[in-house]
A and B are shown apart, each in its own frame.
Chain A
Amino acid sequence: MSEHETMKTDALARIEAAQDLDAVEALRVEFLGKQGSISGLLKTLGKMSPEERQEKAPAIQALRAAVADALADKKTALEAAELEARLATETVDLTLPAPETPRGTVHPVSQVMDELAEIFADLGFAVATGPEVEDDWYNFTALNMPESHPARAMHDTFYFPDTAPKGGRMLLRTHTSPVQVRTMMAQGAPLRIIAPGRVYRSDSDATHTPMFHQVEGLVIDKDIHLGHLKWTLETFLKAFFETDDIVLRLRPSYFPFTEPSVEVDVGFAIDDKGKRILGGSGDAPGHGWMELLGSGMVNRRVIEMSGLDPDQWQGFAFGVGVDRLAMLKYGMDDLRAFFDGDVRWLQHYGFSAYDQPTLSAGVGAGA
């Protein structure tokens, strides 16, 4: 074995045996540093004759390369081991809970109102509003319920002691129908609006609260008839409940502000748990009819009092409970809970901010 071979074997063995990066560095200095043994050998090359150099250089260069490679490999290996050891000390218990972020919710009434606006926008209906503190002219008189009308008494009206600016009494609107009158007066005809909002009746039990929400629909045009009303309600309900299996039953009824007046029932089935599921004809076995909304052709007196010519314009109107629609679609069973602000209820029945109703995704938010 040559002298170089011996050096190489010895150096590689010592590098292999190095325990840490400091030891590797010390060996690098010893072999390859300025005063290093291999560096010393390299320096001798300069003093050799070209022939001698040509003979000895390759062995010395090979020795240097082998040692340098061994040092680099050892360093990499030790660094990796050191990182591994450090990381082992940094372990955390990821079964611990992450920081909590509060989950906000949109109230079912707002969600359903957004759904209604979306559906009716597609049918060309704009959204109109009006005051909730109303006067009796808009709430009753203009809707063909003069002072002595028996239907007035049936409205369980909340009154204020105050007199309206143009006479009459101030009250809380008992329905969204005054918005019909206000919108016709302000915008004329033709007209397609929905008017959602709060309404008030002095009535309170499991299914009635003194405040609730209604949406009014109104179409005024030249040739509108009951068939259009039926189609509009069917189309709306199919879109709202996202099922084509909606069967309506129209029944004659009476509202002073419509003539003819029509009560609309919708067919439902009763499931195993006794819950009502909309769909099918109410006359089918295991089915029934549920009263859903009131509607009719706008009474010509209402059109007249709203400043339009009833010989020229006619149309239909309907009113439906928003809370009721929400309950039917999303399964709540106690109306009073809507207005309690119980955060447990809001979390359960509320909707994500990102459940913005769209027609392309379906207006409903899945359970």
Chain B
Amino acid sequence: MKFSLEWLTYFLETDASVEEISAKLNAIGLEVEGVEDPAEKLGGFRVAHVLTAKPHPDADKLQVLTVDTGEGDPLQVVCGAPNARAGMKGVLGQAGAIVPANGMKLRKSEIRGVESNGMMCSVRELELGEDHEGIIELPEDAPVGTDFATYHGASPVFDVAITPNRPDCMGVYGIARDLAAAGLGTLKPLRDDTFAGDYPCPVEIRTDDPEGCPAFYGRVIRGVKNGPSPEWMQKRLIAAGQRPISALVDITNYMMLAFGRPAHVYDLAKLSGPVVARRANDGEQVLALNEKTYTLDSSMTVIADDNGVHDIAGIMGGEHSSVQDNTTDVLLEIAYFNPDSIGVTGRKLGLATDARTRFERGVDPAWLDGGLDGLTSLILRICGGEASEPVRAGKAPSDARMVPYDPQLTQKLGGVAVSEAEQRRILAALDFTVSDDWTVTVPLRRHDIEGAADIVEEVVRIHGLDHVESVALTGNVGVASPTATPEQALERKVRRAAAGRGLNEAVTWSFLPVSEAEHFADGQKLWVLDNPISEDMKAMRPSLLPGLISAAKRNIDRGASGLRLFEIGRRYLRAKDGGSDEHPTLGVVLAGEKVQRGWASGKAVMFDAFDAKAEAMALLAEAGAPVDKLMVMGEAGPQFHPGQSATLRLGPKNVLARFGALHPATLEAFDVDGPVVAVEIFLDAIPGKKGKAAFARPHYAPPALQSVMRDFAFLVPQDVAAGDLLRAVRNADKNNIVDARIFDLFEGKGVPEGKKSIAIEVTLQPAEKTYKDEEIKAISDAVIAAAAKQGAELRG
């Protein structure tokens, strides 16, 4: 909310500087977002006297003026304004001044061959209003040479953010009251505006909706003269960012900005019959002041007469009965609307107005008569007319909240001791009443004060939060205990392991385009946003891979040749009860070149499914998964190449990871060039360590005897999985075989059709004695027999 210093000091007697006021506003919770001093914008503009005006020799519409600036010789100025004439007083911008409206820097120039030393300005050029018909005309007595900002009374403008709990500060007077309480000045007494009225109100005013509109006060004023509002009011409104419209409209805006009190003025000539606050009928329509038609329903409160709706209560008036320049008789409305229903109506209609903001947060229920009289007073003073007696329909809430309070609480909750006397002073200055036993009666306008903690906040904020001293938390002597849960420790370890393996951690959006999410949904129902920010951010990801594939694509499009991206985050699935089921997951995408071409080989090496497997195995090992017990099985999912992908399972059901090359259809769906291989590790599927964390490892001493290597070459049917053969060989004699590695794989010449040759190097570890020939023979036989069960025959 914006207001000028001039307006503030109309209510607040203070010597404080703009800086002091700003600092205090911040200190009491009225955050200053900016201070603008129009005097700065008006630098270089001064009151000037036009001495002569002659037609420009070379242009019909221009005149050449000589202008007295109060010092030195008169200046020659070329001017195009029709109202420029000898003898008038106006505002001259001299060379060097910057025109506020367009930022143009004035300079000495020649206009059609005639020297011009400045510019006579219009209202619009100085951002003082809309008028651009001609240059500003100042009164006869305007002192020539005076700085125009000073003459005009330009006043610094504060822009203050009012938190939603403080509707009482959505008016300048409320802000002045807070500042006064904080010791920055004295609140000036308001005018004593009480009007009994000259005649009975000729219009019946009722509220038929006591829930939505508990109170509706009003009165008629006859014989008003609408027109421009006075300059003092226009200045204040303009400073507040409100465009002056007409006196009657400006007066209601003034009431709202000065006192946080929205009001409405109807053109009485457009009304017929009683004016009633009631619920709208379903489907009832109104053309509002913003020239839009709104369709209402029966949850909404309106002000209506016999002919229909004239006002969406507390939100926006209707066009039909709005005041015009020729309006002579008016009906004033000061009402109290239910804040909740205003909020609901506003949200339903999607209509945000200054009035709604105030009613929704809660206006002062105790200031209906005051508001009505204040409004009346302004209209009578500015527009004339005769006021009727007021009509008071209904009753605003009047039960003041009583809060039992303990002055010790400022210390106990706020961490600062404030003397009882000071606490009483602060509360009184904010219009709270404090009894001897510290029962605090809350002013009705303070809807936000509910309990003792709120009173603490009032006292402490006015006393000053800078008095709060730091106090150390107690406990925790000695070395800090570990706090990470096993899941957190796992994520951290796997993250650094992945980075240590050369992968770059990315953080991608949790939401995806629906099509991309569907591609990875595997039949699960997605979480799809009702109000996404864009179609690209609509469905919660069921997998980490789509986001990473898209990131890889963006990088490739930027010219990257090879990518190693990973992310640790959640997949968003659904629990059986319809709630959220979020799974911590690690995704890896490897795309393009694994090794760039280089001097050694000259050729690039592309990523393949085995690179994905390597990451999967290594990261699972770091995660503590029993990798030597994992089974390589199928069904990685339709997003993967059916022949180049697999799952890693612990037992047939528990899938710990999936990996492999992506399906060409996936590449096409993401518009990315291959090869792209991927891994997804389901971190919460990895079995945790059982029992208490143990640090001691199983006993181990390196064997004293040297191990023995034996090579075996087998012919196996092509469809036998190498991993199965290897496992069979390794398990052929668990006491002696400590390792088995495939070191050759060959098909083709010399190998029968339908077969492949697999060569395995077996490491034997003798325990206490070196092997005798017959012992090695026995182990070899066991290896061959185990391999034979897989369909393998020893190559001759």
Contacts and interface: CB of A to CB of B under 8 A. Distances in A.
Contact of B416 (A131, A203, A227): A227
A263 B595 CA distance: 51
Contacts of B347: 153
Q: What's the interface size class on B, roughly?
A: 35 or more
Contacts of A150: 164, 343, 360-361
Interface string A194-226: 000010101110000011000000010001111
B600 interface: yes
Contacts of A211: 509-511
**In the A-B complex, the 9 residue pairs with the closest CB atoms:** A341-B551, A252-B29, A227-B415, A102-B502, A254-B163, A260-B457, A227-B471, A353-B499, A133-B580
A148 interface: yes
Interface string A240-256: 00000000011111100
Interface in A230-281: 230-232, 234-235, 249-254, 259-263
A297 B533 contact: no
B524 to A, nearest CB: 13
A262 B416 CA distance: 14
B29 A253 contact: yes
A159 B480 CA distance: 40
A102 B500 CA distance: 9
A311 B422 CA distance: 26
Contact of B470 (A227, A260, A261, A352): A227
Nearest to B23: A283
Contacts of A105: 499, 504-505
Given A123-B480, A161-B530, 10 more contacts: A97-B599, A104-B499, A127-B483, A132-B572, A133-B580, A200-B510, A225-B412, A231-B470, A261-B457, A338-B507
B502 A172 contact: no
13 contacts: A96-B599, A104-B498, A117-B488, A123-B480, A132-B572, A158-B529, A226-B413, A226-B465, A230-B471, A251-B29, A341-B550, A342-B551, A343-B560
B509 A339 contact: yes
A99 B600 contact: yes
A356 B495 CA distance: 11
B496 interface: yes
Nearest to A229: B415
B554 A342 contact: yes
B49 to A, nearest CB: 43
A133 B29 CA distance: 33
B164 A154 contact: yes
Interface residues of A, number: 95
A172 B483 contact: no
B473 A159 contact: no
Given A133-B540, A338-B507, A339-B508, A114 B533 contact: no
A102 B564 contact: yes
B83 interface: no
Interface in B515-536: 527-533
Contacts of B580: 131-134, 170
B391 to A, nearest CB: 30
A251 B476 contact: no
Interface stretch (B230-238, B448-456, B648-656): B448-456
Contacts of A356: 496
Contact of B507 (A107, A114, A124, A133): A107
Contacts of B51: none
A106 B500 CA distance: 9
A341 B481 CA distance: 35
Contacts of A254: 29, 163-166, 448
B558 interface: yes
B500 to A, nearest CB: 4
B536 to A, nearest CB: 10
Contacts of A170: 527, 579-580
Contacts of B448: 254
B499 A346 contact: no
- Which of B413, B469, B507, B569 counts the most A-chain CB atoms under 10 A from its CB? B507
A228 B578 contact: no
Interface string B155-199: 000000001111000000000000000000000000000000000
A344 B551 CA distance: 12
B457 A259 contact: yes
Nearest to A296: B457
A63 B530 CA distance: 108
Nearest to A265: B26
Contacts of A66: none
B473 A219 contact: yes
